Amino acid sequence: MEEPRPTHVDLAAAFEDSGVREVLEELDRTLIGLAPVKSRIRETAALLLVDQARRRMGLATGAPTLHMSFTGNPGTGKTTVALKMADLLHRLGYVRKGHLVTVTRDDLVGQYIGHTAPKTKEVLKKAMGGALFIDEAYYLYRPENERDYGQEAIEILLQVMENNRDDLVVILAGYADRMDRFFASNPGFRSRIAHHIEFPDYGDAELLTIAERMLDQQNYRLDEAARRAMSEYIPARRGQPHFANARSIRNALDRARLRQANRLFNEARGPIDADTLSTITEADLRSSRVFRGGLDVDRATGQAGASQAAE
């Protein structure tokens, strides 16, 4: 005999039982700032909790559309939020596994006839039961190249997004203006994306906090003079090409640690203590080309510090 449907639901209890609070609190701990993004994640969680309640009461039919678009500049936390979103969807029972598969065009599009379909289908197979994060998704579509195979990958993705939306969430990510043009050229994607979340750039104070947190995680710290230098470095670097928010800060700190190591190696005349080994000084930062009006360059690669790689 079928159990009677409930006539009332306690949303607060459902929230606590779901484990969503834990995900949201971890998101707050993990990411500095991003208030509008966190607000949208909470709103989405509330929507799904209400949808669950409606299902139990027989008021909802069909799975909600959960495919998403994350727009913003590099280094604003899109991949981190995608990871948390996959976890949240798993806790709420909307995906079976809760894992995240991150890809770019090269993982989906082949280089010759018959190559794209198996590549795309293999990626989708790995992502089933979780979320698929496609960074710089607009590169899938290259209308200027009539021999490009990106359109084939797009058609397969659209079909799976429609037919398997109860077992896979697709998150498209990239610069806002390029994503707008991509959606305009591919209306099938726009019609399947239910949630559009914009990631703002970090402020200077937020980036300084991010820098200190990154160093703390590696048991380093800035002394007071270095902290002042870092607060000057951030707006100076922001004004240069290819600035990538937290990613550029991470790269700058990597170079500062390299300079610190060389300074200690060259200056040491005897045993040094843990505090000295863990302290980034003003000199380690002021040596950056940014303070001389140049672009901070990674000497190991010869490339600008703000990498354009996937987050």
Which residues in the chain are classed under CATH 1.10.8.60? 204-304
The answer to pTM > 0.75 is yes
pLDDT recorded at residue 59: 87
pLDDT of residue 145: 74
pLDDT of residue 300: 35
- The three-state DSSP-derived secondary structure of the chain is CCCCCCCCCCHHHHHHHHCHHHHHHHHHHHCCCCHHHHHHHHHHHHHHHHHHHHHHCCCCCCCCCCCEEEEECCCCCHHHHHHHHHHHHHHCCCCCCCCEEEECHHHHCCCCCCCHHHHHHHHHHHHCCCEEEEECHHHHCCCCCCCCCHHHHHHHHHHHHHHCCCCCEEEEEECHHHHHHHHHHCHHHHHHCCEEEEECCCCHHHHHHHHHHHHHHCCCEECHHHHHHHHHHHHHHHCCCCCCCHHHHHHHHHHHHHHHHHHHHHHCCCCCCHHHHHEECHHHHHCCHHHHCCCCEECCCCEECCCCCCC
For the chain, 311 residues long, the average pLDDT of each consecutive 10-residue run is 77 86 90 93 91 84 86 95 94 92 95 91 97 96 81 95 92 96 91 94 97 97 98 96 95 97 90 95 95 62 35 31
| Predicted pLDDT of residue 301 | 35
As its CATH architecture, domain 204-304 has Orthogonal Bundle (1.10)
In which residue ranges of the chain is CATH 3.40.50.300 found? Answer: 64-199
* CATH classification number, 64-199, choose in 3.50.50.60, 1.10.10.10, 3.40.640.10, 3.40.50.300: 3.40.50.300
Q: What pLDDT is stored for residue 61 in this prediction? A: 66
pLDDT at 284: 97
Report the pLDDT value the prediction gives residue 1, as an integer from 0 to 100: 55
